[in-house]
Amino acid sequence: MNDNSEKVTITLDGQQVSVSKDLTILEAAEEYGIKIPRLCYHPDLSLMGSCRVCIVDVKNVGFYMAACSTKVWEGMVVQTNSPEIRQARRDIVELLLDNHPKACQTCERDGNCELQNLAYTLGVRDRLFEGERKHFPKDESGLSVIREPDKCILCGRCVRVCAEVQNVNNLSQHGRGFTTVVSPAHGANMDDSVCIQCGQCINVCPTAAFLEKDATDSVWEALADSSKHVVIQTAPSIRAAIGEGFGLEPGTACTNQMISSLRRLGFEAVFDTNFGADLTIMEESNEFLNRLANQGPLPMLTSCSPGWVNYLEKFYPSLIPNMSSCRSPMTMTSVLIKTYYAQKMGLNPKDIFVVAVMPCVAKKFEAKRPEHLMSPGMYYTDAVLTTREAIWMIKSYGIDNWTLPQMNFWNVQKDQFDSPLGMSTGAGDIFGTTGGVMEAALRTAAEKVTGKPADKLEFTEVRAVEGLREATVRLGDKELRVAVANGLNNARTILDKVVAGKEQFHLIEIMACPGGCIGGGGQPYPPHGIKVMDKELLAKRASALYAIDKKKTLRKSHENPEILTLYKEFLGEAGGPKAHELLHTHYSPRLPRGIIGDADVYMQNG
């Protein structure tokens, strides 16, 4: 908040207060501890003012005004609460509910639904206006994101996040009036549209109109099948967010509880995707230094974020040669489970069922890419669970108290990752947050370039907490121009510079979701009262990862002894033929081609 801005005096619920003239009524009230109920409003998105839940009574105006979209003015007299206002808000929510399925008990968002919460808070106890309801088919055909338009209340948050934060513009309201529906162009399913599967629409939806494609059934089934050897890997950012699902303070690292809970579910081994992250750095830094020595193609773009991979293929296919050919840490880990681990354990890869817990819904799509087939009909990764799904499975199993000191009762003792594919350095941990892949790569590249131990470990200049960073880093006598972006609208700023040839970068890290994986489309819905994409929430999750990194003695990927053994025993050289066959992939332009629009213009025009 800019304290130097001009102040105005308003009367807020009978009390004279001085507030900045740039504030809306909703923001001004919040400064004085009054939370006006809201639904379509999101502070990081453009204003829509469509739900009318935040109406307030402004003296001498003659109608109720939407607090989210009305700025304060000198002498304004606002009443945020009165029997009439409360009644009007309640009526509005009742009307929304009238066109909404009565399915709370069986809905995935039960207990975590903004509409449900709002209805309760506003005192809706009856459904008075029973009338005709809209009926649209549920679209479950997508591999990552599914739509259930019956639950949509047309608040437009998904449309706005897709356009303004992700610059994908895949969603729009179609039709009019009672038959209005939010969908991709021509009502296409998500996979056949320009959707990049990031899942931010799921996160911002106040109800359950968007959801991830469920994978829990297939995992339960595999766990119950005695002929299957079921193993699981967890992504770096899971440990930083999964605790929220168990009522723990955001930013509480829960590595041990997570591992022992998964073991109790019956997984025979729990591996760490961080191992794959360390391996990614080995391959990626090698690839990068090769490109640096052989003039390109530069800049090299990181390839860990599957939402970003989809965005590249649909929106910036001209930059495909710049993309690192490294498979993602998840897929690398899965590949090694079905090859290296299988060999070590004497298992047939066909009998292994690999589950991955990811902060991401796009990983579900990545897992089913034909490039990641091991043999016809068999993918390296068999099922991808989001953090939310993993929380649900663990709780549904009856494990819900993560603060118990005796978490390790029963016959399961281990709360550490299994070996091999379980040990990781701090460089792997920070993959889960923006700038982490870049920082990890720089830690290793610095030593490879100079040939001596690096004096610098923490590259705080690449931690792009505000969404976009450009920096110059020194590696020995080399100066590198690097850029880090999270959220694809930020990425676009950098990518446009690259396409236009305006500026020379060497290495660019892009993560599709705001804040990186910690803000992924599959992460827990924020605790009540905290908004999605909240910077503080993301900072807390990130700090958990940085704390783990700091505590580790090994913080550089190439120092991971298990990685070194892996190369010695199995892979050969980094970037060598076997590593190339198993750890690298390729990309191709994907249709429909996305159109890079100007989000602001569209939103202003409704």
Partner 1 sequence: MCTCKTDNLSDIERTSELSLGPEIVEYIKTICEGPHKESQLISVLHKVQQKYGYLSMENINAVAYLLKIPAAKVSGVATFYNFFRLQQPGKFKINVCLGTACYVKGANLIADRFKQELGIDFGETSKDAMFTLEIARCLGTCGLAPVVTIGKEVFSQVTPDQVPVLLDKFRKQ
- SS3 per residue for 276-335: HHHHHHHHHHHHHHHHHHCCCCCCEECCCCHHHHHHHHHHCHHHHHHECCECCHHHHHHH
| Contact with partner 1 (CB under 8 A) among 144, 170, 260, 285 | 170
Active site residue 287: yes
Residue 332 near partner 1 by CB under 8 A: no
Query: Closest Cα to residue 269, out of 229, 237, 240?
Result: 229
CA angle 363, 486, 174 (to 5 degrees): 70
Restricting to residues 223-262, name those near partner 1 by CB under 8 A: none
Residue 176 near partner 1 by CB under 8 A: yes
Residue 592 near partner 1 by CB under 8 A: yes
As given in the structure block, the two tokens for residue 383 are 């099922």
Number of residues interacting with partner 1: please give it, by CB under 8 A.
36
| Contact with partner 1 (CB under 8 A) among 20, 169, 339, 444 | 169
Of 196 and 399, CB closest to partner 1: 196
Q: Please identify, among the stretches 164-172, 396-404, 457-465, 513-521, the one whose residues bind partner 1 according to the rule CB under 8 A.
A: 164-172
131, 158 contact by CB (below 8 A): no
Query: Closest Cα to residue 341, out of 230, 423, 421, 229?
Result: 421
| Contact with partner 1 (CB under 8 A) among 125, 135, 186, 568 | 186
Residue 56 near partner 1 by CB under 8 A: no
Active site residue 324: yes
- Which of 371, 466, 479, 581 is labelled catalytic? 371
Instruction: Name residue 403's beta-bridge partners.
Output: none
Of 315 and 402, CB closest to partner 1: 315
Residue 589 near partner 1 by CB under 8 A: yes
| Contact with partner 1 (CB under 8 A) among 142, 184, 329, 426 | 184
68, 24 contact by CB (below 8 A): yes
Of 1 and 601, CB closest to partner 1: 601
In whole angstroms, what is the distance from residue 392 CA to residue 246 CA? 10
Residue 600 near partner 1 by CB under 8 A: no
Of 319 and 512, CB closest to partner 1: 319
Query: Closest Cα to residue 434, out of 454, 457, 460?
Result: 460
Active site residue 371: yes
308, 270 contact by CB (below 8 A): no
Residue 173 near partner 1 by CB under 8 A: yes
Looking at the chain, the number of H-run helices and the number of E-run strands are 21, 19
Active site residue 363: yes
CA-based diameter of the chain, in Å? 80
* Least Cβ distance, residue 192 to partner 1 (angstroms): 12
Residue 296 near partner 1 by CB under 8 A: yes
Restricting to residues 104-163, name those near partner 1 by CB under 8 A: 163
In whole angstroms, what is the distance from residue 578 CA to residue 583 CA? 8
Of 171 and 362, CB closest to partner 1: 171
Q: Please identify, among the stretches 127-135, 313-321, 364-372, 510-518, the one whose residues bind partner 1 according to the rule CB under 8 A.
A: 313-321
| Contact with partner 1 (CB under 8 A) among 88, 289, 320, 465 | 320
| Contact with partner 1 (CB under 8 A) among 17, 85, 88, 185 | 185
Contacts of 66 (CB under 8 A, 6+ apart): 49, 52, 54, 55
Q: Please identify, among the stretches 212-220, 312-320, 466-474, 510-518, the one whose residues bind partner 1 according to the rule CB under 8 A.
A: 312-320
Active site residue 284: yes
Tell me how far the alpha carbon of residue 208 is from its chain's centroid. Answer: 17
In whole angstroms, what is the distance from residue 441 CA to residue 438 CA? 5
Residue 501 near partner 1 by CB under 8 A: no
53, 66 contact by CB (below 8 A): no
- SS3 per residue for 388-422: HHHHHHHHHCCCCCCCCCCCCCCCCCCCCCCCCCC
Binding site for partner 1 (CB under 8 A): 163, 169-176, 183-186, 193-194, 294-297, 317-321, 588-589, 591-597, 601-602, 605
Positions marked active-site? 284, 287, 304, 324, 363, 366, 371, 517
